[in-house]
């Protein structure tokens, strides 16, 4: 990863200056934020989480290795995630049928 970042002009102990890198690379870097947001929209289903009936169980939190998608998603969610040795974080974005959770009351819940 250090080698890949160096190609982008990102190096340890060096300030990043987008004007010092190839203009084509800079143009690509400017497209990254939108791509990251797009990934985060579907990232929970693209992580190392175990999925059961709409529930996601992140069993490798804090031990990401090169799973940068999960690492970034957890950082974006704002969790100071502990490892499975201490805690689990059951999470759901969809119900057991795969429908997005929306918080709207349903008729069956009214009785």
The bridge status of strand 55-57 relative to strand 90-92 is antiparallel
Q: Flag residues of the chain having pLDDT under 70.
A: 43-48, 79-80, 106-111
Helix (H, G, I), strand (E, B) or coil at 96: coil
Closest CA to 59 of 98, 103, 89, 79: 89
d(CA 12, CA 30): 21
How confident is the model at residue 64, as a pLDDT? Answer: 82
Q: Is the pTM of this model over 0.85?
A: no
Residue 62, CB half-sphere, CA atoms under 13 Å: how many? 12
How confident is the model at residue 47, as a pLDDT? Answer: 66
d(CA 39, CA 35): 6
How confident is the model at residue 14, as a pLDDT? Answer: 92
How confident is the model at residue 43, as a pLDDT? Answer: 62
């Amino acid at each position: 990863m250090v080698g890949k970042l160096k190609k982008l002009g990102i190096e340890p102990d060096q300030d990043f200056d987008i004007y010092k890198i190839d203009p084509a690379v800079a143009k690509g870097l400017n497209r990254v934020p939108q791509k990251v947001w797009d990934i985060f929209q579907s990232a929970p289903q693209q992580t190392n989480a175990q999925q059961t009936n709409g529930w996601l169980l992140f069993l490798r939190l804090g031990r990401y290795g090169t799973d940068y998608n999960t690492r970034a998603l957890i950082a974006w969610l704002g969790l100071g995630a502990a490892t499975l040795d201490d805690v689990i974080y059951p999470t759901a974005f969809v119900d057991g049928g795969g429908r997005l959770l929306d918080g709207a009351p349903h008729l069956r819940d009214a009785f």
